[in-house]
Structure 1
Amino acid sequence: MTSAPQTARAIARRELTTAIVGRARQQLAEVGPAQLSVRQIARDLGMASSAVYRYFPSRDELLTELLVVIYHELADRLELADAAVDPDDRSARWRTLAHTFRAWSTAAPHEFALLYGSPVPGYAAPRQTVGPASRVTGVLIALAAAVDAAGVVPTTALPAGAHETLSDFRTAAGVDLSDEVVLRTVTAWGGLLGAVTLELFGHLHRAVTDFDAHFDLVIGRLDPTG
């Protein structure tokens, strides 16, 4: 069954939406998310502000669209990279995930900052960003499930109440992972975000000279796979 042809109006709307989002991403790199301006984007595109506001009535709606688009692009990249690795080589999958994430972050630090940096004043991400964001962490969750199924992670004694403390993560992940694997996964994700943040925002200046080698050491220590 063939789909109905798109109308000229639908095509024009898609193309204009793409142009607005594209210019917004350029502005994001120039001034940061807090200074994102729908009016300035309209001027840059040679449009009346009212025309752009029909697509994105506020800065917040434009920020939400940016989050959705960028999360999906990052997830696509991580999923594709993970699919290219032997699924049984869990350590290689972790290294691939970490290196792919770092490569994306260093190529677009302003987009990393939007997704994982300081909150934008006055903006609260709506629920529609949860699904796209979950696709990103879903790559790590899939790896965690593979680690748990393989039974290769030694169990260590955890404090009383740890199982209950980690239950929210299991619920959010939708997978009944062991406490040890949950804790290793959360630690690995937090460490990866921290390592990239320190590098991108200049906090390792004078402390590290070979960032590639340093990153390899860090992700090796963070490896949650066994």
Structure 2
Amino acid sequence: MKRADVVELFTRLRELNPHPTTELAYTTPFELLVAVVLSAQATDVGVNKATKKLYPVANTPQAILELGEEGLKKYINTIGLFNAKAKNVIALCRLLVEQHHGEVPRTREALEALPGVGRKTANVMLNTAFGEPTIAVDTHIFRVANRTGLAPGKDVRAVEDKLEKVVPAEFKRDAHHWLILHGRYVCKARKPDCPHCPIRDLCRYKHKTVE
């Protein structure tokens, strides 16, 4: 995609949604971290239903440790892979208490050292909790970047690296959210809503849907 088209693409997405953010419900960096870990292969809606019950009871590393793994499972058992996720969250909380005074670290290296936290989750935290211009490539962003021709790549890291190069600095802080929301609600996996797409004319996708 030409640079002028990239600028136009993000200009339009910004006009439609000037202040995008995650759809996960949270009030602290720790709440966001747990929500993101729980959201792997699960919907934000499903995670929010679980954390709405969990966080009033336990929303700090120490409080979740006191719940214990079995206690935590009672709150998150509606989420896919909840057994493995409960184990990771407990281990994550223990590490936060033992090594970070119960606070979420603000560096990629420290975040990725936490159980259940990979590069994508670290990018989400750096961007959404701490305001850094990182781009976390999930399935939605991977699809949109390839379909549109914005940043085609064979794997998520290739797409992330390309987005880092092609997204203009003024849009980088919010690009992650615009692309996720576009993929979730417009450029959907099975049938993209091309007729109502605000960037249809800029997109390189050959199989555009019609009314």
Class of the TM-score when normalised by the shorter of the 2 chains: under 0.3
The answer to which structure has the higher helix fraction is 1
Q: Highest CA radius of gyration, 1 or 2? A: 1
TM-score (norm 2): 0.27
